[in-house]
Amino acid sequence: MNLGDCGGNRMPAETFPDPERPIAQHVKVGSPRSPRRQGVRVRSLLAKGRCWRLGPANFQLENHSQPIAFERDRRVSYRDCSMNNTTQIASHLLRSRIGKLCVAVIGTSANEMIEKATEVLKESTFLEFRLDYLAKPATALPALKQFLAENGAATAIATCRLKDNGGRFDGSKAAELEILLKAAAAGFHLVDIELESIEKLPKNTMSQLREAGAAVIISYHDFHATKELDAVYARIKPYAPDFAKIVPTARSLSDNLTLMKFLDRVEDESNSSVVGICMGEAGIISRVLGLRAGSAFTFAAATQGEETAPGQIAARTLLETYRVDQVDAATKIYGVAGNPIKSSLSPLMMNTAFRRETVNAVYLGLQTSKAEDLFKLAREVPIQGMSITMPLKQDVMPLLERTDALSAKIGAVNTILRAQDGKFYGFNTDVAGIVAPLERRLSLKGAKVLVLGAGGAARAAVFGCCAKGAEVFILNRTPETAQKLARQSGAKSIKRDLVAKTHFDVIINATPVGMAGIAKAGAKNVPVSQLEASEINARYVFDLVYNPIETPLLRMARQKGIAVITGVEMFVQQGARQFEIWTGKPAPEEEMLRVVVHSLRQGAEGVAETPAASVPAAKSEPVVASKAAVAAVAKPAVAAPVKAKATAVVVKAKPVVKSVVKAPVRKAAPVRKAAPVKPVRRKAPVKAAGKAKAKSR
């Protein structure tokens, strides 16, 4: 009888598995007939949400939307079936049980691990227990055994990684194996052993692990680069594990392409499923899109700050922000490109907007300092649109097919759209994001404006203010760059020693100084602020840095009683215009503002002394979004309903029409609303590069 073709027919009672023997004992190493080839019907049924149900006297196929949670005391095996068919069924049973997201649990004691695992189980039933984080892993196994027995829905991986392979266990390879064997006996469904270990251990190691009752993951980690993935897989393949886990480090965005092409090649090669992830900040894209490329599952941290690998993302972020469980072949890809992007709130803001407007899209962090690296990824994934931040706003210009007139004049873009013809077009929404908040407070005609910096954001500020009739001065650490920008825009450069002697209507910081993460990344020569307190002589100080919401520059301005404009206003406005260019829909600006302010407030709550409480009150000014944002950091408030209309950013490019693919999305988590925000008058909706049909992926 061919079990792969049994369909919904009930098996004879005499062929039902022996309940005294665990499934994993019957998984034959190196089975020559892959379930992908032999059990095609089984695979298609599992893909449609069906799974195998085991009963005391039958074995039948039924419809289920969720994997069956098998009880530990009902482990079954296949005494009278052929080994090949047993291998297929056991493999499918395991795959139907596990999820697509495995959450790593760490702790310094068994009780701490169990406490964290209990919390994780509320949202995910697939767990990895990092036993190597324990001083004495073996002593924790009895408690973990009881936990698994009491939580039959959980599927658990036991990992005890050696220090030499990136873990924390300082014992021998033999000691590692002993712990994994005991973990399997304690009820862990899978054990993870490094390739380097199994190559040095006795030849019967795989059979020992299987006889102990666990499925086997053979893993390989490269903490330096992404190279020779096929060679690594060739080393793993002879052991025929249930899962081969290959985890290189992405040094560039294109390394993610290398991994995803590898996953595509090996997907149907053997009986082993492959888990592929790129570590590092540049590898974030693989943690979200790897599942679509063929990775059996991906890993996440239990909470932020408990990452077990470089670039690992918290489980809640993967599920709620990136919606990793909903990404499919039709999902459109967008992202923010630059360096650094780790602290960027663009993914949170944009993914919230996509969810709010039911757009089947995901927005990722793309960390790179090289425009060519970015475009190589963008062409092959493909990426439909990008937000461009430092240091790429000028570097990407030569790689674009065309830009709108404003971007061409400024010489920098912050928004890229992939048109129907596959070519990339550039726009600049920074200007609207900078000018609009200023014009709500004062007339720019004849106003004296000091712009700090001469990069992409500074160019937008300079050209935008000059176009409104302001007298603009540029201060940059490289005077020659400031002078060049002054000549191009009709502004003036100014020497540092003259700044303290001059009174300005507005001072705009368009440098990354004060940004979260900058000081840590290059700690040696990073100033706290571009200016000293004595040099801040203005009616308003506008810092384009939005994270943290209260930068050192704004704090000094407040202490002098100067009205401030936070970068949140500019950040949300320019992002809203990008959303409209990409989708052709009005942006949910109120929702975007709310999640950004909420996130910044949460970050500020970790600081002993909040900015609002540590400085004198600023001058009174019109009620605007930035004031609401600052108030939200100090304490929660309930916002009045705000009706936001689309702001005008008219762009010109080759005709393109965006078709929006809608997909069911889960309801956003409740967020405390910000303080009342004054409605902003807006012009006509964006005309996003004409009308035509976008390619469906």
Q: For 412-470, give the secondary structure using H, E and C.
A: CCCEEEECCCCCEEEECCHHHHHHHHHHCCCCCCCCEEEEECCCHHHHHHHHHHHHCCC
At residue 517, the pLDDT reads 62
Dihedral angle sign, alpha carbons of residues 386, 389, 391, 396:
positive
For the chain, the residue count is: 697
Given a cut of 60, is residue 12 above it in pLDDT?
A: no
Q: Which helix (H) or strand (E) holds 602?
A: helix 589-604
At residue 269, the pLDDT reads 72
Query: Among all chains, which residue has been given the structure tokens 């663009």?
Result: 346
Strand, helix or coil at 287?
helix
Strand, helix or coil at 171?
coil
pLDDT tier at 495 (50, 70, 90 boundaries)? very high
Given a cut of 80, is residue 612 above it in pLDDT?
A: no
pLDDT tens, 57-105? 333 333 333 443 433 333 333 333 333 455 455 656 777 778 899 999 9
Cβ(293)–Cβ(273) under 8 Å? no
Cβ(465)–Cβ(483) under 8 Å? no
What number of CA atoms fall less than 13 Å from residue 361's CA on the CB side?
A: 31
What Cα–Cα distance (Å) separates residue 112 from each residue in 92, 143, 315, 607, 664?
33, 11, 18, 26, 37
Cβ(464)–Cβ(431) under 8 Å? yes
Degrees, nearest 5: CA angle 270-285-598: 135
User: Whole-angstrom Cα distance, residue 625 to residue 433?
Assistant: 12
Given a cut of 90, is residue 645 above it in pLDDT?
A: no
Query: Among all chains, which residue has been given the structure tokens 């053997």?
Result: 270
pLDDT tier at 573 (50, 70, 90 boundaries)? very high
Question: What token pair was written down for 371?
Answer: 């425009």
User: Whole-angstrom Cα distance, residue 73 to residue 152?
Assistant: 9
Question: What token pair was written down for 229?
Answer: 């993935």
Tell me the DSSP string of 79-90. Answer: SSS-HHHHHHHH
pLDDT tier at 538 (50, 70, 90 boundaries)? very high
Provide mean pLDDT across the span 521-548: 81
pLDDT tier at 49 (50, 70, 90 boundaries)? very low
Alpha helix (H) ranges present in 107-172?
Answer: 110-120, 137-150
Residue 338 phi, psi (nearest 5): 160, -170
Q: Is 530 left (phi over 0), alpha (psi -120 to 50) or beta?
A: alpha
Diameter over CA atoms, the chain: 96
User: Whole-angstrom Cα distance, residue 436 to residue 255?
Assistant: 40
Provide mean pLDDT across the span 590-606: 89
What count of other Cβ atoms lies within 10 Å of the Cβ of residue 676? 15
Given a cut of 50, is residue 292 above it in pLDDT?
A: yes
What count of other Cβ atoms lies within 10 Å of the Cβ of residue 469? 11
Q: At what angle do helices 430-439 and 456-467 cross, to 10 degrees?
A: 50
Provide mean pLDDT across the span 229-255: 96
Q: Which residues contact 471 (CB under 8 A, 6 or more apart)?
A: 446, 447, 448, 449, 492
How large a percentage of the chain has pLDDT more than 90?
66
What Cα–Cα distance (Å) separates residue 401 from each residue in 229, 405, 426, 519?
35, 13, 8, 36
Provide mean pLDDT across the span 125-144: 97
How far is C-alpha 42 from the chain's CA centre? 33
Least confident of 11-25, 299-313, 463-477: 11-25
What count of other Cβ atoms lies within 10 Å of the Cβ of residue 561? 11
Which of 145, 166, 144 is CA-nearest to residue 308?
A: 166
pLDDT tens, 431-486? 999 999 999 999 999 999 999 999 999 999 999 999 999 999 999 999 999 999 99
User: Whole-angstrom Cα distance, residue 317 to residue 313?
Assistant: 7
Question: What token pair was written down for 444?
Answer: 């720019």
In the chain, % helix, strand, coil (3-state, to 5) comes to: 40, 15, 45
Question: What token pair was written down for 532?
Answer: 């000293």
User: Whole-angstrom Cα distance, residue 477 to residue 493?
Assistant: 11
Task: For the chain, give the mean pLDDT.
Answer: 79
Buried b (16+ CB within 10 A) or exposed e, 267-279: eeebbbbbbbbbb
Which of 3, 198, 183 is CA-nearest to residue 82?
A: 3
* DSSP 8-state code for residue 318: I
Which segments of 25-64 are extended strands (E)? Answer: 50-54, 59-63
* Torsion, CA 444, CA 449, CA 451, CA 452, rounded to 10: -140
Given a cut of 50, is residue 646 above it in pLDDT?
A: no
Model confidence, pTM: 0.74
pLDDT tier at 342 (50, 70, 90 boundaries)? confident
Provide mean pLDDT across the span 149-164: 96
Active centre residues (catalytic): 393
Strand, helix or coil at 520?
helix
Given a cut of 60, is residue 343 above it in pLDDT?
A: yes
At residue 665, the pLDDT reads 41
User: Whole-angstrom Cα distance, residue 30 to residue 271?
Assistant: 8
At residue 91, the pLDDT reads 58
Least confident of 141-145, 509-513, 609-613: 609-613
Domains of the chain in sequence order: 3-96 (no CATH), 98-327 (3.20.20.70), 431-634 (3.40.50.720)
Buried b (16+ CB within 10 A) or exposed e, 373-404: bbbbbbeebebbbbbbbbbbbbbbbeebeebb
At residue 44, the pLDDT reads 32
